[in-house]
Amino acid sequence: MATHDDGDVNSGPTPEAGITPGGTTGAFRDMLAKGHARRGKPPVHLVDMSPEERVAAAKAIGMPKFRVKQLANHYFAHFDTDVESFTDFPSKLSATAQEAFFPELIHEVTHQSADEGTTIKTLWRLFDGAMIESVLMRYPSRTTLCISSQVGCGMGCPFCATGQLGLTRNMSTGEILEQVRIAAKTARDGGITGGPCRLSNVVFMGMGEPMGNYRSVISAVRQISAMPPEGFGISARNITVSTVGVVPGIRKLAQEGLPVRLAVSLHAPSDELRDELVPMNRRFNTTQVLDAAHDYYLATKRRVSIEYALMRGINDQAEHARLLAKRLNHYGDDWAHVNPIPLNPIEGSKWTASKPEDERQFLDILHRAGITATLRDTRGQDIDGACGQLSAKYRKTAGNEPNSDCSPTS
């Protein structure tokens, strides 16, 4: 099937979400999970509301509008949602304010620690029983949170645990930001090895395709980066939004005026190979993706991260590295930083991690070609570290737990 450029209208206008129309046939389709159904919407949270909606919600429960700013300050500056404990808030309003502004959106099911306690992976249950994951990672100079933006993923990449789950639904802005708030509180309170610290970086590299949930993701980015009481005050330059190559989303993000880093999950230098590894490539091929990524660099002056999972004998040989360097150098101007990533394989999968000598060779070829590249630190190898693995393992062992209707498609 012929590929289309990002302005293609053969399958209808591009939705506001920034993702192409899906459907159930053709080169690109969202791979739906068995549990994909009309699940209803998550409860509305303070962060899901516009300023006007917050005032209206306050009025509806008889709360003066200045109290809204108090609630927002507690949330963004102190990471607190227990209204009853707020000493500056009237106790007679606490229960109704709690229900109206801070419904519970995510609830911890289990967590795993690795890397001597500097990596914490958490499995969360959402209001409808769906499961998502986040990973908090402490490094010497920063503390990073990897968050999910969808329940499951519809991109169908065969080497990815989340891709095998299929897409259940998009997450709300509140569900996304609750991952950030709880991690920021955990870091501040010393809940990760090394003592109290500040959450400094957020990466949208957990479960889901961020461009497939564009509106909620951008709302979350704006509130992560705004200063309290409008946001958490984490610099937009320390936020990374990843994509498998949804070109309309990349082009839309470039126009947002946000200096976030774009990460493109490329994983292959040629269309023939990438068609197999990343099914979205049949909709937007490598040339279209790299063109859009380079245009993002020109628009934002932020170097683009090229994510490349190294898979033994599949995409990790010398010819792959040479072609990747050629494709990137075509644009010149040191616009991209390549992150080769040792694959965290799925249990029982044919996709396995590269040999260390092939990893070194791959990196050396890129460096000799003038490409900036860093072999990514692999966290959580002694736990279910790759996104989707903990969720899949939990469902497999739990049997009849509430999320069993989110099992992967057969």
Looking only at the bridges linking them, the beta strands covering 201-204 and 239-243 are parallel
**160 among known catalytic residues:** no
Q: What span, in angstroms and rounded, lies between the C-alpha atoms of 212 and 205?
A: 13
Among candidate residues 133, 175, 307, 359, the one labeled active-site is 133
CA-CA distance, 47 to 179, in Å (whole number)? 13
User: 236 to each of 42, 65, 107, 146, 178, how far by Cα in Å?
Assistant: 26, 29, 27, 15, 18
Bridge partners (DSSP) of residue 108 are: 124
* Proportion of the chain in helix, strand, coil states, percent, rounded to 5: 40, 15, 45
The active-site residue out of 146, 157, 160, 387 is 387
CB 232 within 8 A of CB 181: yes
Angstrom distance (rounded) from CA 163 to CA 355: 24
DSSP state of 320: H
Specify the length of the chain in residues: 410
Is residue 153 part of the annotated active site? The answer reads no
Q: Which residues are known to be catalytic?
A: 133, 387
